[in-house]
Structure 1
Amino acid sequence: MNPLESLWRSRKFWLAVVAVVQTAVFAWLPGFPDEVWQAINVILLWLIGTIAVEDAAGKLGIRNRPQGTAGE
């Protein structure tokens, strides 16, 4: 898969685009509370980080095991 195609399919990329767009729009709107768009950015960055960890675990072959099955 070419790099541009994988970028267009990347959930992390699109969440980052949404974060940048919403930051620009909400910063431009007069009177919109900074705390609200900053909180939205925190949520989006948390989602990006969670997806990155999920992707890394998938590449390393780490799977989520049900409790009590470790070492079996």
Structure 2
Amino acid sequence: MVILGGSTLYQVLYDESGASQGAIRYSDSGIVGRWESYIKEIYGAGEDVESYFAREVAHLPPPTTNAE
């Protein structure tokens, strides 16, 4: 979901491989407003990446590749 200027919402569509396939545009103020509120709420509940990294990632061994 991408919100532009508080008045337009785009639902970005992706295929199975993760490549974008376009978007659906919404301009209904009720729909845009609800999504904007929801995104602000979950952003506010999110954790800072530094504390997450320190707790969940820093102790892990470095990644490796399997060169063939």
TM-score normalised by length of structure 1: 0.27
Greater fraction of residues in strand: 2
Point out the structure with max Rg over C-alpha: 2
Greater fraction of residues in helix: 1
Higher relative contact order (CA 8 A, sep 6+): 1
